[in-house]
Amino acid sequence: MERINRLVVLTLAFALTSAGDTLRLRDGSSVNGDFVGASSTDIRFSVNGEVEHYARTSVAEIIFSAAPADVPPSGSSEPDWLLRGPDYVGAPFLRGANGYIPLEREVASPARSGGLPGVSGGTIYRVPGGRSNVRVRQTDRIVFVVRLDAGGDPRQFQLFRLDSRMNYRQTQAGMGGSPPALPMTIRKVTDSVYEISPARGLNPGEYAVSPSNTNDSYCFGVDY
C-alpha cells in the first residue's frame, strides 16, 4: 500500500494582492502556478496552462493563496473544485483556501493498553513518529473533505486525539474497549462529496482521522 510521504509540510497563506499558489521544492527552488490535486505519489501543479507532476518526496511546502478565479458555478454557492471533490477517493483532505491539502497518511498498528488493576486494558493504535509535519493553528477552521464511491458512508470516519511519545503517537486508551473518538459534524456537499468537521475546537496536540473499517490513519497536528 502506498503511503503519503509524511515529510511534506503544507502551509496556508492568504495573499491579498497576488493570485495563484507557490510550490517550494527541497532543492530550494520554487514554482508559481495553481494547485490542481494530489495522489499518494505526486502533486499536480498547473504552470502556464500546463499541468506538471512533482514527486511528493521532492516537495517541501505548498503555499496556497486566495484565488480570484475561484468563482462558484451557476446555481451553487460552492466553488467548482469543492463540488468535484478530491481526486483521491476514500481519503480525507484538509480544505484549503482554494484546494485540498493532503494529510500525513500512516497505517496504525494495534496494541493493548495496560488497564487498571483487575480491569483488562483496551486496544490502542500506534503510528510512527512523535509529531506530524502537517500542521494547522488552533484558531483555524478545520474542515476535512472526502469523496466517496457510491454507497460510501461518511460516518465511517472518526477523529482521535493522539498521545505523542518520542518516536510514535498512539490513541488514548478507552475503558476496556476501543479508543474514544471525538465528536464530528457532517455536511453533504454533493452525492459523493462530504465535509467533516470537529464538533468543537481542538486543543493543541496530535490527531488522526481514521475510517472505522481500516487502520489507515490520516494525521495532523494543531499548534497554538
Q: Confirm whether 63 is domain-assigned.
A: yes
- DSSP 8-state class, residue 184: E
Q: Confirm whether 3 is domain-assigned.
A: no
> Mean pLDDT over residues 11-27, rounded?
56
Retrieve residue 85's grid coordinates.
Answer: 471533490
pLDDT at 193 over 50: yes
- Position 111 scores a pLDDT of 87
Q: Confirm whether 2 is domain-assigned.
A: no
Q: Confirm whether 186 is domain-assigned.
A: yes
Domain count, the chain: 1
> Mean pLDDT over residues 104-121, rounded?
73
Label residue 118 left, alpha or beta by phi (over 0 means left) and psi (-120 to 50 means alpha): left
Q: How far is CA 174 from CA 76, 119, 177, 181, 213, in A?
A: 42, 12, 5, 9, 18
What residues make up the domain containing 159? 9-223
- Position 137 scores a pLDDT of 93
Higher pLDDT, residue 187 or 7: 187
- Position 186 scores a pLDDT of 95
Q: Confirm whether 4 is domain-assigned.
A: no
- Position 178 scores a pLDDT of 72
| Segment among 40-49, 109-118, 170-179, 195-204 with least mean pLDDT | 109-118
Confidence of residue 120 (pLDDT cuts 50, 70, 90): low
> Mean pLDDT over residues 197-203, rounded?
95
Reported pTM: 0.66
Q: Confirm whether 196 is domain-assigned.
A: yes
Q: Confirm whether 166 is domain-assigned.
A: yes
Q: Confirm whether 137 is domain-assigned.
A: yes
Cα separation, 38 vs 101, whole angstroms? 8
Lookup result for grid cell 476501543: 178
